[in-house]
Amino acid sequence: MQDSYRRLLEQIREGRLSVEQALQKLRALPYEDLGYAKVDHRRLLQKGFPEVIYAPGKTVAQIKEIARRLYDRAVPVLVTRAEPPVYEALREEFSGAEYHPEARAVVIRTAEKAAPKGCVGVVTAGTADLPVAEEAALTAELMGCRVFRLYDVGVAGLHRLFDRLDLLFQARALVVVAGMEGALPSVVGGLVACPVIAVPTSVGYGAHFNGLAPLLAMLSSCAPGVAVVNIDNGFGAGYMAALINLSGEGGGAD
Amino acid sequence: MQDSYRRLLEQIREGRLSVEQALQKLRALPYEDLGYAKVDHRRLLQKGFPEVIYAPGKTVAQIKEIARRLYDRAVPVLVTRAEPPVYEALREEFSGAEYHPEARAVVIRTAEKAAPKGCVGVVTAGTADLPVAEEAALTAELMGCRVFRLYDVGVAGLHRLFDRLDLLFQARALVVVAGMEGALPSVVGGLVACPVIAVPTSVGYGAHFNGLAPLLAMLSSCAPGVAVVNIDNGFGAGYMAALINLSGEGGGAD
Amino acid sequence: MQDSYRRLLEQIREGRLSVEQALQKLRALPYEDLGYAKVDHRRLLQKGFPEVIYAPGKTVAQIKEIARRLYDRAVPVLVTRAEPPVYEALREEFSGAEYHPEARAVVIRTAEKAAPKGCVGVVTAGTADLPVAEEAALTAELMGCRVFRLYDVGVAGLHRLFDRLDLLFQARALVVVAGMEGALPSVVGGLVACPVIAVPTSVGYGAHFNGLAPLLAMLSSCAPGVAVVNIDNGFGAGYMAALINLSGEGGGAD
Amino acid sequence: MQDSYRRLLEQIREGRLSVEQALQKLRALPYEDLGYAKVDHRRLLQKGFPEVIYAPGKTVAQIKEIARRLYDRAVPVLVTRAEPPVYEALREEFSGAEYHPEARAVVIRTAEKAAPKGCVGVVTAGTADLPVAEEAALTAELMGCRVFRLYDVGVAGLHRLFDRLDLLFQARALVVVAGMEGALPSVVGGLVACPVIAVPTSVGYGAHFNGLAPLLAMLSSCAPGVAVVNIDNGFGAGYMAALINLSGEGGGAD
Amino acid sequence: MQDSYRRLLEQIREGRLSVEQALQKLRALPYEDLGYAKVDHRRLLQKGFPEVIYAPGKTVAQIKEIARRLYDRAVPVLVTRAEPPVYEALREEFSGAEYHPEARAVVIRTAEKAAPKGCVGVVTAGTADLPVAEEAALTAELMGCRVFRLYDVGVAGLHRLFDRLDLLFQARALVVVAGMEGALPSVVGGLVACPVIAVPTSVGYGAHFNGLAPLLAMLSSCAPGVAVVNIDNGFGAGYMAALINLSGEGGGAD
Amino acid sequence: MQDSYRRLLEQIREGRLSVEQALQKLRALPYEDLGYAKVDHRRLLQKGFPEVIYAPGKTVAQIKEIARRLYDRAVPVLVTRAEPPVYEALREEFSGAEYHPEARAVVIRTAEKAAPKGCVGVVTAGTADLPVAEEAALTAELMGCRVFRLYDVGVAGLHRLFDRLDLLFQARALVVVAGMEGALPSVVGGLVACPVIAVPTSVGYGAHFNGLAPLLAMLSSCAPGVAVVNIDNGFGAGYMAALINLSGEGGGAD
Amino acid sequence: MQDSYRRLLEQIREGRLSVEQALQKLRALPYEDLGYAKVDHRRLLQKGFPEVIYAPGKTVAQIKEIARRLYDRAVPVLVTRAEPPVYEALREEFSGAEYHPEARAVVIRTAEKAAPKGCVGVVTAGTADLPVAEEAALTAELMGCRVFRLYDVGVAGLHRLFDRLDLLFQARALVVVAGMEGALPSVVGGLVACPVIAVPTSVGYGAHFNGLAPLLAMLSSCAPGVAVVNIDNGFGAGYMAALINLSGEGGGAD
Amino acid sequence: MQDSYRRLLEQIREGRLSVEQALQKLRALPYEDLGYAKVDHRRLLQKGFPEVIYAPGKTVAQIKEIARRLYDRAVPVLVTRAEPPVYEALREEFSGAEYHPEARAVVIRTAEKAAPKGCVGVVTAGTADLPVAEEAALTAELMGCRVFRLYDVGVAGLHRLFDRLDLLFQARALVVVAGMEGALPSVVGGLVACPVIAVPTSVGYGAHFNGLAPLLAMLSSCAPGVAVVNIDNGFGAGYMAALINLSGEGGGAD
């Protein structure tokens, strides 16, 4: 199905199809209306990845039904911020469902399995930033990327980071996760040549204001080649890094 | 000179050089100390692009001297947020200096000129976002990217955007610039498959709080594949988009 | 009773009654003093709708008593942000009390039932915005409006919205509910000719700051014909939309 | 031209035209591309009013050109936040251009003149709120509404307001403008039966934070039937009130 | 004991005692050191009222001991923000302890009872502001003031306030308590001749930001003769109003 | 004229006049409508002091006309935040106009001159707080109070304050003005028995945020008997202190 | 082991070792990689004190393992913000573990015990600031400092502070802890000659905004010789004061 | 004169003088009252340094007079944030006045000149942070410290910092100045053993919010041994560092 969409996009690029014609074709592509949600199969076609299910604020029954619709079309499912009961419920129906407790995520994979491509690195300043980092790493892995992790290398002890420069230099895109003062993305951005996706976390207290301190710091970074996602948004960072990494591979998302 | 650095990095990747050895070699690379500033030739090596000169807070004499040091090593120079007097002063010494008034930037190009690679798109919501967009476009062009511009296609009249979907689909990376409510990056992010770098601008008034409104909106975007840079940071967005675009080309910045 | 009030207002407009005389007559209209609250029957006369009971911070006994006073004067009662125990208590006394769990509201209708008038549309960006939207829809329905719902049509997948433009064009007033970046009211405002009441919701995390992000975005909207109510204020939005819709009908609220 | 658009919308409503067909027709409607701006004639069709020209950040030449394009299609032009030099330049070309110094606005009217419809009231708390109020009043007048003004009736001397209740009761929609503590919309909202559009102004100092104080107050209003626009946004308030007023007239904007 | 302090202050005023001498005498006055707290009997002398015990963050045992020290010197004790268990514990030792559930306060009175003086009024905008208002009223009563209460007379229904102007005019000092938009103190301040102490409350949601909205509004009040205390600070407002009221009486606090 | 108002209020208090009757009488009292402003002579009656003219945002001509209307009724005029040109213009018409440059205020006194009553103290932490303090002192003097000044006695050198405790103890009401950390009102509030009106000033930089730091500090004061007015609001503080002082005198404002 | 590090630093200072050589030696120093954390023995060498374990966000098992690694190298362990279950778990393995409930901290001391040096004072404004103060005092004690405590001497009753000036004058460094308006560090800073470390606490409500009020106040302090740490950061303040105190001793940390 | 004060303090420490007696003696020490300011000679005694004159908000005449009073007592004078006209005026009277344009400061030295003691380092992240750094360096030098400067070594190019570790290790106290993301103090704090005084600067734009970003970052620093002063407060940082440095010397400030 992805092929047909790709062909369509190519025809637009080649001028063999007008935008008007393309839009009409796109409208023909189904999405399913569950009443409380509209499962968007078009996104899959467009981005090379299914719509992630953000669990908070949805009932277990709703999550289950959305997952089923996605799974029926043979796309991998990722449920983020999922507590164990969500996993229990999903496992009843999807025997292959996996729970990743550090990432607080459920994954339901499809049969097909390609070799991971390129290289995405996920780096954290502290131990407490781990859940956000794992969500990012898992997302990138599910999108087909080779991923390495380098945790607890914050700026108060930079020799731990410098010991692994070789690893950092291998990445085509880096996710750098930090709470507290959020300084690590600037330091990493000053060392590497690839794009850095900075993720502030809510780890801290007082004048940290639940992530405001590292968010503002990262946006004010003096290092070029750094862009920022929302506080604790591991999924968004992993997704962005995967897009960049795969674009370098000349495949997948493009 | 860039070659020698590349070789060095490759040797690290191939394990033929330890990090320790590499760091010693790197230390040997010169940077020049002007007292009030340290001109960092290493950055050029590392990122494939010279250190940009951010004009505010620097005297014309300081800007001139830093530019000379960079130019002497045959690297292109970019001076951002530069008022006309800065340009006047630079033109005295660098006959080839160009002034880009919309981007408020001075450029001093080197002789060598490569064909632009890949495709970066720069999109704005309104007419007033133009200076930030031009800074981004100019930066990406200087880094060797092919760039297209699509201006004044904000969300209050989306048919103007939909008329040019064909153009959007060509980009390997998009810079989307918006003030007011900052909604355009989310809309674009929902349409395209490439990474989107969102730039909030200070265009607005009242509850806009000089760019806070679109900044928070872009960070809270419901579309994946969107990362954010600082308010009005056209340079940072163009730099990031160029890195992504060139990484897809398998060259330049990597 | 409403008739007598209407006559009074008409006499003022027609100059047959001075303001002084009118004020004296108005003072004669009763309100009931429960000590901790003053049940304002005058509001009913004035707005065509009873004073809504906002449940948080009131005891079940207080809510029950205020409801009884209103009900005794044959006006419909709406209790917002009501948990099930509030409903249980009210049902004991008012057998016709209905609980609307999605809207978290209790309704006690009066016997008389008029055909719904005009058309109010309630639109949401996501599934999680549903409780706020339902509160708005229920309010408008109780005030005598015909209401349609269009949910989960956020800006990251605009084709879902464009598929139902026919529905949007039927509304005389629209309530557009959105959390995250709050972009939907701007998009809708750019498409329709009727007034849009924008409702930011607290759905989001991190830089969303409990609704601040969409609130600022909606206030900075580039689309004219958009006004904003408080975060999560479904009741206020439904009330405002109903006033506008009924004013178009030449009846009810006017 | 407006007629043809109306017919089109009616055909959609009546089911005689599919959305797809309508969209194709709409695409055929021209907009003009000035490079730095896209003059959107479609908005005129859609809203019954031309795109307003917000002067700040645009050159006089740009404003002039956009005005000419609009004027050529026989639509009234409104330039907001316009300093006298903008007016001087426009008067050169449009002999009928009027300058409204209190509203800081230029108006270029078309020949046709309809009798004003309905009734919009514009009320201010203080004398310093006058420029914002005049912008609102002028906007509503240009859109074809009958408008009355009631200025300097703030809450610290409510007898000035109560003396004119007769006037307030005539409005089909009210714009209430207030700086300082922003209490007036709540008081008015408690007295009238029509929708109230509240406009916070930047008039104040210290803890007023350039309009934040009345903005938050108005959003937290205890009176239903009140919606809020951005700080100092007189145009937006007047536009919204006119939409509501005309919808009640069964004409114009609908 | 209060007498001796009064005499001392009078001697200073009359120049019969130098400040140096007075300070030496004051130092001789005892305070008791409990280790975790220093019970300040000097405050009693100075202000005509004991140090209030703010319960949160103190153990029941600590509260009990501080109360005992105060009681032993025959001064009335006021424990604010006290949950029922605090009362239970205090009643064990002080049989005359009273619990005021609406004010969330425990009072232990001394034997002597003077006739209440002057007149303090406590006014609220809504029913939910009642706990803060009761804390203010109780404080003023304990300090020897005659107090009247006027509740639920907010700005959305001002006729309820105007019906009781006679009551308002009797006060020598008014405490006006309001959440939501916090407009009531401005309205009252515009009607009366006595000082108004405004108390913002945390009653509200969304853009109310836990009391920020009414706090900023009250500080920006357009009515002179209004001063503000902290959000929910009923004690502080009652204390201030009592000081003003008693100063008018020529007694008590002076 | 004041007498007739007083008699009216007394009749209400004594029950010899109903509120209805009183309101009718009050309505009969004139205010003058200048179009852009409504000069409120009723306030004079009510508060014992004329409406102050806040100069910013008013033209010199407007200020002059409002002043004339007030002066014609033989009430003293106070123009605050007045630059020298305002004074020049007023002196042309009112030969007795005085300019107080430190207070940035113009005063036009009436012939009658009563002996100053009671005692108001105005205290500042630093030299830069002087303009705000002078505005407060002047306001209280004009309202008939005896006033003393005690400047530059901030908390970093408390011995300067303790040297003048004798002066502090004489006040019936104190205005305490402080920028920076705003600690002085708490210290003074812990020393004196009279009410303290705290005024934060915009004197400071950085994390001071134009007066936010001392504003929040003063609202969080640990000393009872302290209430706060807006940042830099010397007039409001002086007015409040005068009301309190005169109420103690049994005259003037009551 | 500390000796060898000291020798290394001394050799750098004496020019007998180049930075390059030193860095190579430093890299040779071990740190242990636990996967989720990197136990940094180098910090111990560098600062004279082990890495503190901040308990929140770590599992009991993780805390236990990190503690063991530190303990095995004979360094004292400090676990901050530790609830009783953490202590229970640690006591199982470390029989000498002590729980300090007021400081919410666990300490595991090493055998060696030196006489406390110099003098650090810890001062609080109120009783509720005690947990933060105890954390500071415990930290300084563990680092080898003599510590005195002076609690509940806030600015509303300064005589309690002045009674103990003799104690204050003994300190080589002072930690001053205050919630509410945070005025105490300014007062103390104006009295003493030694450096003052100011710690704002989250003790307060309303406009205190969880410590923002005293934080801004302390940063705006008018007294020189005052520096600030994060809200509630007792550990950081105690650490800083200990560094200063010991540097004066010519030992320990230097 | 300093000797006599020292003796007094020593007598207190040794218990040979009671606090009461000491306070009486202290009161006897003169300060001069200029009306608008109180020149506090006591501070000199207490801190070993005169009261600095912060120029903004003071007239040139006031500055001159305060300087004269200080100079007459043979203490060095430091005028901060001083524009050239201030210097011109001071040079007329004090021939030895020096202007330091980078630090925006005037210095009037006394005859006596001691050898600089200890070692204070002043480090900046960027070139634009230089004025703040120079103010800090000058302050520490005037207080008798040996000072070194290390500028433009920000985190985006850390090799510039690591090249000068030998210099950093020499300091007894470090002032680290940074705008943008404010990461440098954390990095330096992780490398050195001495106390670090962090100074955020207003250098940055957009989400930097005039220094808020680095301020919050520095307060949230993950490195212990770091305390923070106000944004751009070079004087405060230099003063604090000098106090620490000299306390280690066993002289000067103690």
E-strand spans in B134-218?
145-150, 173-178, 196-200
Position B11, amino acid: Q
Q: What pLDDT score was predicted for residue C40?
A: 53
Coil, strand, or helix at residue A120?
Answer: strand
ipTM of this model?
0.83
Å between G126 CA and nearest CA of chain H: 22
Q: Is the pLDDT of residue G227 over 90?
A: yes
Predicted confidence at residue H208, as pLDDT, reads: 93
Helix or strand holding residue E174 (H, E): strand E173-178
User: Is residue G59 very low, low, confident or very high in pLDDT (cuts 50, 70, 90)?
Assistant: confident
d(CA E187, CA E176): 10
Q: What pLDDT does C70 receive?
A: 83
F166-218 pLDDT tens trace: 889 899 999 999 999 999 999 999 888 899 999 999 989 999 999 999 999 99
Sequence letter at residue C97: A
CA distance B236 to H207: 14
C-alpha angle with apex C14: C11 to C15, nearest 5 degrees?
85
Distance from CA of B128 to the nearest CA of D (A): 6
Cα separation values, A136 from A8, A90, A143, C3, G68, Å = 31, 22, 11, 64, 31
Pairing of strands B173-178, B196-200: parallel
* Separation of alpha carbons G208 and G204, rounded Å: 6
pLDDT digits (tens, 9 = 90+) for F79-127: 999 999 999 999 999 999 999 999 999 999 876 667 899 999 999 998 8
C176 contacts on B by Cβ (under 8 Å)? none
The rounded distance, in Å, linking the Cα atoms of C91 and C101 is: 14
pLDDT-derived band at E43, boundaries 50, 70, 90: very low
| Cα separation, A142 vs A242, whole angstroms | 9
Shortest CA gap B27–chain G (Å): 10
pLDDT reading at G26 higher than 50? no
pLDDT for the residue E78: 93
In the structure, what pLDDT confidence band is assigned to residue A110 with cuts at 50, 70 and 90?
A: confident
G35 contacts in A (CB within 8 Å)? 151
| Helix (H), strand (E) at residue B73 | none
Q: Return the higher-pLDDT residue of A42 and A68.
A: A68
CB contact under 8 A, C57 and E127: yes
CB H212 within 8 A of CB H176: no
Tell me what the mean pLDDT of segment E140-160 comes to.
88
Q: Which residue intervals of chain G are DSSP H helices?
A: 2-13, 19-28, 41-47, 60-72, 84-93, 130-142, 159-162, 165-168, 184-189, 212-219, 234-249
pLDDT recorded at residue D36: 61
Q: Per-residue pLDDT averaged across H113-142, rounded?
A: 92
How much of chain D, in percent, has pLDDT values that exceed 70? 76
CA distance G103 to C182: 44
Contact predicate E127/C37, CB 8 Å: yes
pLDDT of residue B191: 85
H/E run at residue B203: none
User: Pairing mode, if any, of strands D98-100 and D105-108?
Assistant: antiparallel
Q: What is the pLDDT of residue A66?
A: 87
Average the pLDDT over F43-53 and give the result: 60
F194 CB neighbour count, 10 Å cutoff: 27
- E195 to E49, E164, F242, G64: CA distances (angstroms): 21, 18, 10, 61
Single-letter amino acid, residue E10: E
Residues 6+ apart with CB under 8 A from H12: G165, G166, G169, H19, H22
> Do residues H69 and H32 make contact, with C-beta atoms less than 8 angstroms apart?
yes
The more confident residue out of H191 and E47 is H191
Residue A159: the pLDDT is 76
Q: Look up residue H52 and give its DSSP letter.
A: P
Helices A212-219, H212-219: axis angle to 10 degrees equals 130
Instruction: Give the pair of three-digit tokens for residue G31.
Output: 């740190």
Distance CA G182, CA C238 (A): 45
Tokens linked to A143: 């999108």
Q: So what's the pLDDT on residue C121? A: 97
Which of H38, D226, H44 lies closest to F125 in space, CA to CA? H38
C98-100 and C77-80 as β-strands: parallel, antiparallel, unpaired?
unpaired
Q: What is the mean pLDDT of residues H51-66?
A: 86
Strands G98-100 and G105-108: antiparallel
Q: What is the mean pLDDT of residues C91-109?
A: 93
pLDDT by residue (tens digit) across G161-220? 887 888 888 999 999 999 999 999 999 998 888 999 999 999 899 999 999 999 999 999
């085509």: which residue's tokens?
A172
Name residue C162's amino acid.
F
Asked if the model's pLDDT at residue D185 lies above 70, the reply is: yes
What residue type is assigned to position H180 of the chain? M
Q: How far is CA E220 from the centre of its chain?
A: 23
Amino acid at D180: M
φ, ψ at G62 (rounded to 5°): -60, -45
Q: What is the pLDDT of residue H36?
A: 61
Q: Cβ contact (<8 Å) for B24 and G20? A: yes
CB G190 within 8 A of CB F156: yes
Chains within contact range of chain C (3+ C-beta pairs < 8 Å): A, B, D, E, F
Contact E163 C27 (CB under 8 A): yes
Query: Residues of F at the H interface (Cβ-Cβ below 8 Å)?
Result: 127-128, 130, 151-153, 156-157, 159-160, 163, 203, 205-208
More confident residue, H5 or H239: H239
Top pLDDT among H20 and E223 is at E223
Cα nearest neighbour of E203 on chain G: G206
Kindly tell me if the per-residue pLDDT of A252 is higher than 70.
no
Query: Is the pLDDT reported for residue H10 higher than 80?
Result: no
Report the pLDDT value the prediction gives residue G251, as an integer from 0 to 100: 39
CA distance H239 to F156: 15
Q: Chain C to chain F, count of Cβ pairs less than 8 Å apart?
A: 4
- Interchain proximity G239–H254, CB inside 8 Å: no
Tell me the CB-side half-sphere exposure of residue H32, using CA atoms within 13 A: 13
> Do C206 and A37 count as a contact with CB atoms less than 8 A apart?
no
Residue found by looking up tokens 């920028």 in the block: F179
Q: What value does the mean pLDDT of chain A take?
A: 82
CA distance E189 to E197: 9
Q: How confident is the model at residue F222 (pLDDT cuts 50, 70, 90)?
A: confident
**Confidence check: pLDDT of A148 > 90:** yes
Confidence bin at F58 (pLDDT 50/70/90): confident
Residue A157 to residue G43, Cβ atoms within 8 A: yes
User: What whole-number distance in Å separates Cα of residue E179 and Cα of residue E234?
Assistant: 13
| B130-142 vs B234-249: helix crossing angle, rounded to 10 | 40
- Specify the pLDDT at position E187: 92
Name the least confident of F62-76, G42-56, G209-223.
G42-56
Burial of B164 (0-12, 13-18, 19+ CB in 10 A): middle
Mean pLDDT value across chain D: 82
Evaluate whether chains D and E are touching (3 or more beta carbon pairs less than 8 Å apart): yes
Touch G-D: 3+ C-beta pairs under 8 A: no
d(CA G37, CA G52): 13
**Using only C-alpha atoms, what is the Rg of chain B?**
19
- Is residue B119 a contact partner of residue B153, using CB atoms and an 8 Å limit? no
Percent of chain C residues topping a pLDDT of 70: 76
Q: Which domains does chain C have, with CATH numbers?
A: 29-108 (no CATH), 117-247 (3.40.50.1970)
Positions of chain B with pLDDT under 70: 1-48, 50, 111-113, 248-254
> Which pLDDT score is estimated for A27?
42
Report chain C's mean pLDDT, rounded to a whole number: 82
Given the DSSP bridges, would you call strands H77-80 and H98-100 parallel, antiparallel or unpaired?
A: unpaired
User: What letter represents residue F103's amino acid?
Assistant: A
> Closest by alpha carbon to D140, among C242, C224, C192, C241?
C224
Q: Are F8 and F25 in contact (CB under 8 A)?
A: yes
Optimal mutation site among F243, F246, F249, F254, interface E, most CBs of chain E within 10 A: F243
What are the φ and ψ backbone dihedral angles of A120, each rounded to 5 degrees?
-110, 135
Instruction: Check residues H74 and F200 and name the one with the higher pLDDT.
Output: F200
Q: Which amino acid is at A125?
A: A
| Residue G29 C-alpha, separation from nearest chain H C-alpha, in angstroms | 14
